[in-house]
């Protein structure tokens, strides 16, 4: 029996044309988009009034208002300023990671364990309180995990907003639930990997080298391998391939 | 009729009517592209809204050497691609859970869950497309939704024209072999021994 070729050139071409034939969008799609614009929440405003304290080892406190203690040294002053800058970029959707270190040393042992684990949840992902409890080896301490996160002295940078209830509910948040929803929404609409069309380099969003990229050079990728498949190479500064392994 | 570029300049001055007109011109094509890439209408609508919002907010940085359509497709594919990345990291979690539970859902539905590909769609083609690497699939979608040229495709994804050509050719080759495979071996048939259906 001869082998028949089932998908001839024309057949494939035709089914692709049918498959990709435009379907009309809902009539209110544009109106809904415009409604999204009326949202008066401006993350930049939050970034302007935020107070940051740092030790020489890293950021130790972040609070949306109130007074920060004066920095103890030049090094801690620099760290606090850097954190504020990165926070601003993060809230504007231009950063997917924080490079400033965090100082966990002043915390009680249990809270420290919880926060150190939470600190490693990747951008845009979420975990449940139960899973955090399990991962720190205390599977029954779900409520205690919630309490420890509720007292997180460094919200946003230690991303306690990425911890949700097992049933998908929001749980609680020190800066208020509306803020938790905003942050989760922000991470949903901020890409993690972007390539520069002129240099052919792919970076993590927020890489100091990528900050110089022109708006019309930005191309988003889903993985470093995808970027490689069309001729991009990973950046040597922010090392995106290491980041996506976590 | 007002040209895309004129509308775009009015959008840069926050003219909502111009924005609505421009959005209406492209919404069907953007929606289809997003739908075919993401697999379901709800996510596609969400992606289109995000892309349009981005268009509105960054219209100020639009430079007229770009065709508006090219620029809009760049923004929209960026949104879709990031959505796919998010799903991959989520599905690797889900897959681990499923594997523990002993079912192979993640393998059967690589586009994530049993999402329907849309009304009256060619399921075989849909499955075959899932085997095409993402970058090639995006190029296929753009090429067939709006007939973009190689140059436009290259601009949308920030790659060279030659890469566009080779990716498209490779994508079609994978489709062709996946479709041929499937027809030789109907899904319902159980394969016994070797060479069944040849």
Same-domain status, A174 and A140: yes
In the prediction, which pLDDT does B86 show?
Answer: 83
Does B123 or A77 have the greater pLDDT score? A77
Q: Is residue B12 part of a domain?
A: yes
Residue whose token pair is 């090219």: B70
In the prediction, which pLDDT does B126 show?
Answer: 85
CA–CA separation, A26 and A9 (whole Å): 34
In B, which residues are within 8 Å of A189 by CB distance?
50, 79
- A115: containing domain: 109-189
Taking 80 as the threshold, does the pLDDT of residue B101 lie above it?
Answer: no
In the prediction, which pLDDT does A44 show?
Answer: 60
The values of phi and psi at residue B87, to 5°, are: -65, -40
In the prediction, which pLDDT does B151 show?
Answer: 94
Same-domain status, B85 and B126: no
Mean pLDDT is lowest, of A34-38, A47-51, B68-72, for: A34-38
Choose from A32, A202, A226, A233 for mutation: most chain B CBs within 10 A: A226
Between B16, B136, B144, which is nearest A17 by CB? B144
Number of domains in chain A: 3
Number of domains in chain B: 2
pLDDT in tens, B141-193: 999 998 899 999 999 999 999 999 999 999 999 999 988 876 665 555 444 44
Same-domain status, B80 and B5: yes
Give the residue on B whose Cα is nearest the Cα of A221. Answer: B81
Give the β-pairing of A201-204 and A233-234: parallel
In A, which residues are within 8 Å of B24 by CB distance?
30
Same-domain status, A79 and A118: no
Same-domain status, B192 and B130: yes
Same-domain status, B10 and B66: yes
Beta strands in A78-129 (DSSP E): 127-128
pLDDT in tens, B119-146: 445 788 888 898 999 999 999 999 999 8
Q: Is residue A67 part of a domain?
A: yes
The values of phi and psi at residue A61, to 5°, are: -155, 140
A2 at B interface, C-beta within 8 A? no
Taking 80 as the threshold, does the pLDDT of residue A181 lie above it?
Answer: yes
Taking 90 as the threshold, does the pLDDT of residue B30 lie above it?
Answer: yes
pLDDT in tens, A89-101: 888 888 999 999 9
In the prediction, which pLDDT does B197 show?
Answer: 38
Same-domain status, A177 and A129: yes
In the prediction, which pLDDT does A1 show?
Answer: 44
Does A7 or A105 have the greater pLDDT score? A105
Taking 90 as the threshold, does the pLDDT of residue B107 lie above it?
Answer: no
Same-domain status, B18 and B70: yes
Q: Is residue A36 part of a domain?
A: no
Taking 50 as the threshold, does the pLDDT of residue B100 lie above it?
Answer: no
pTM: 0.76
Give the residue on A whose Cα is nearest the Cα of B67. Answer: A216
Same-domain status, A166 and A122: yes
Listed ranges A30-34, A47-51, A162-166; the one with the highest mean pLDDT = A162-166
Tokens of A6: 């089932």
A219, B160: Cβ pair inside 8 Å?
no
CA–CA separation, B75 and B80 (whole Å): 9
Same-domain status, A166 and A211: no
Same-domain status, A212 and A197: yes
Q: Is residue B78 part of a domain?
A: yes
pLDDT in tens, B43-60: 999 899 989 988 888 888
Of the pLDDT bands very low, low, confident and very high (cuts 50, 70, 90), residue A245 is very low
In the prediction, which pLDDT does A185 show?
Answer: 87
Q: Is residue A10 part of a domain?
A: no
The values of phi and psi at residue B154, to 5°, are: -60, -40
Same-domain status, A122 and A185: yes
Same-domain status, A170 and A236: no
Taking 70 as the threshold, does the pLDDT of residue B88 lie above it?
Answer: yes
3-state percent breakdown (helix, strand, coil) of chain A, nearest 5: 40, 10, 45
In B, which residues are within 8 Å of A12 by CB distance?
172, 175-176, 179
Stretch A99-123: mean pLDDT: 93
Q: Is residue A157 part of a domain?
A: yes
Residues facing A218 on adjacent strands: A196
Q: Is residue B103 part of a domain?
A: no
In the prediction, which pLDDT does B112 show?
Answer: 41
Same-domain status, A116 and A173: yes
- B127 close to B182: Cβ distance less than 8 angstroms: yes
Q: Is residue B113 part of a domain?
A: no
In A, which residues are within 8 Å of B172 by CB distance?
12
User: Which residues are CB-contacts of B7 (< 8 A; sequence separation ≥ 6)?
Assistant: B18, B19, B21, B22, B68
Determine the distance in angstroms separating the CA of B90 from the nearest CA of chain A, rounded to an integer.
8
Mean pLDDT is lowest, of A182-196, B15-29, B98-112, for: B98-112
Residues of A marked active site are found at 160
Last residue of a domain, one of A167, A189, A211: A189
Taking 90 as the threshold, does the pLDDT of residue A129 lie above it?
Answer: yes
CATH number at residue A236: 3.40.10.10
Taking 50 as the threshold, does the pLDDT of residue A45 lie above it?
Answer: yes
Residue whose token pair is 């097992």: A166
Stretch A65-82: mean pLDDT: 85
* String of DSSP letters for A132-187: HHHHTT-TT-HHHHHHHHHT-SSBTTB-GGGEE-TTS-----TT-HHHHHHHHHHH
Strand order in the sheet with A201-204: A218-221, A193-196, A201-204, A233-234
User: Which residues are CB-contacts of A65 (< 8 A; sequence separation ≥ 6)?
Assistant: A49, A50, A51
B158 at A interface, C-beta within 8 A? yes
In the prediction, which pLDDT does B185 show?
Answer: 59
Chain A stretch 176-215, residues whose beta carbon is closer than 8 A to a beta carbon of chain B? 188-197, 200, 215
Same-domain status, B76 and B142: no
- A171 close to A129: Cβ distance less than 8 angstroms: yes
CATH number at residue B5: 1.10.1740.10
Q: Is residue B96 part of a domain?
A: no
Of the pLDDT bands very low, low, confident and very high (cuts 50, 70, 90), residue A234 is very high
In the prediction, which pLDDT does A29 show?
Answer: 83
- B193: containing domain: 122-198
Last residue of a domain, one of B41, B71, B90: B90
Q: Is residue A21 part of a domain?
A: no
- A231 close to B163: Cβ distance less than 8 angstroms: yes
Same-domain status, A174 and A115: yes
In the prediction, which pLDDT does B93 show?
Answer: 57
Q: Is residue B98 part of a domain?
A: no
Q: Is residue B100 part of a domain?
A: no
Same-domain status, B80 and B126: no
Same-domain status, A183 and A203: no
- B19 close to B83: Cβ distance less than 8 angstroms: no
Tell me which DSSP letter residue A212 carries.
Answer: G
Residue A47: CB atoms within 10 Å: 19
Stretch A18-41: mean pLDDT: 77
In the prediction, which pLDDT does A195 show?
Answer: 93
Same-domain status, A185 and A136: yes
Last residue of a domain, one of A65, A91, A117: A91
CATH number at residue B158: 1.10.10.10
Stretch A109-134: mean pLDDT: 93
Neighbour-count burial of A57, counting CB atoms closer than 10 A to its CB (0-12 exposed, 13-18 middle, 19+ buried)? middle
Give the β-pairing of A233-234 and A193-196: unpaired
Stretch B10-17: mean pLDDT: 89
Same-domain status, B68 and B131: no
- B80 close to A191: Cβ distance less than 8 angstroms: no
Give the residue on A whose Cα is nearest the Cα of B32. Answer: A22
């Amino acid at each position: 029996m001869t082998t028949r070729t089932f998908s001839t050139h024309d057949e494939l071409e035709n089914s692709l044309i049918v498959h990709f034939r435009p379907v009309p969008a809902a009539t209110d799609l544009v109106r809904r988009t415009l409604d999204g614009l009326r949202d008066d929440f401006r993350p930049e405003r939050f970034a302007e009034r935020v107070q940051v304290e740092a030790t020489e080892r890293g950021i130790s406190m972040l609070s949306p208002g109130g007074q920060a203690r004066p920095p103890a040294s030049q090094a801690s002053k620099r760290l606090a300023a850097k954190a504020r800058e990165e926070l601003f970029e993060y809230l504007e959707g231009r950063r997917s990671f924080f490079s400033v270190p965090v100082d966990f040393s002043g915390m009680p042992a249990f809270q420290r364990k919880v926060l150190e684990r939470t600190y490693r949840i990747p951008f845009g992902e979420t975990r449940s309180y139960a899973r955090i409890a399990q991962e720190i080896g205390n599977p029954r301490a779900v409520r205690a995990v919630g309490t420890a996160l509720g007292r997180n002295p460094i919200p946003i940078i230690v991303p306690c907003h990425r911890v949700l209830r097992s049933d998908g509910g929001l749980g609680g948040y020190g800066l208020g639930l509306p803020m938790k929803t905003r942050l989760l929404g922000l991470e949903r609409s901020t890409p993690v990997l972007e390539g520069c069309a002129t240099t052919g380099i792919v970076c993590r969003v927020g890489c100091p080298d990528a900050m110089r990229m022109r708006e019309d050079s930005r191309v988003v990728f889903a993985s470093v391998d995808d970027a490689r498949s069309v001729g991009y190479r990973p950046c040597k500064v922010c090392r995106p391939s290491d980041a996506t392994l976590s | 009729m007002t040209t895309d570029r004129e509308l775009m300049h009015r959008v840069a001055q926050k003219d909502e009517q111009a924005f609505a007109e421009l959005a209406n011109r492209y919404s069907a094509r953007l929606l289809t592209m997003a739908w075919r890439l993401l697999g379901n209408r709800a996510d596609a609508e969400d992606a289109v809204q995000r892309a349009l919002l981005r268009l509105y907010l960054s219209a100020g940085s639009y430079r007229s050497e770009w065709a508006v359509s090219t620029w809009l497709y760049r923004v929209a594919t960026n949104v879709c691609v990031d959505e796919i990345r998010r799903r991959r990291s989520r599905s690797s979690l889900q897959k681990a859970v499923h594997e523990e539970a002993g079912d192979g859902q993640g393998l059967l539905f690589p586009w994530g869950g049993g999402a329907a590909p849309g009304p009256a769609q060619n399921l075989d083609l849909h499955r075959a497309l899932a085997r095409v690497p993402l970058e090639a699939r995006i190029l296929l979608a753009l090429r067939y939704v709006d007939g973009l040229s190689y140059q436009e495709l290259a601009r949308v994804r920030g790659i060279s024209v030659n890469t566009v050509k080779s990716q498209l050719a490779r994508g079609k080759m994978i489709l062709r072999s996946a479709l041929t495979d499937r027809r030789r071996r109907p899904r319902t048939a159980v394969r016994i021994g070797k060479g069944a259906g040849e």
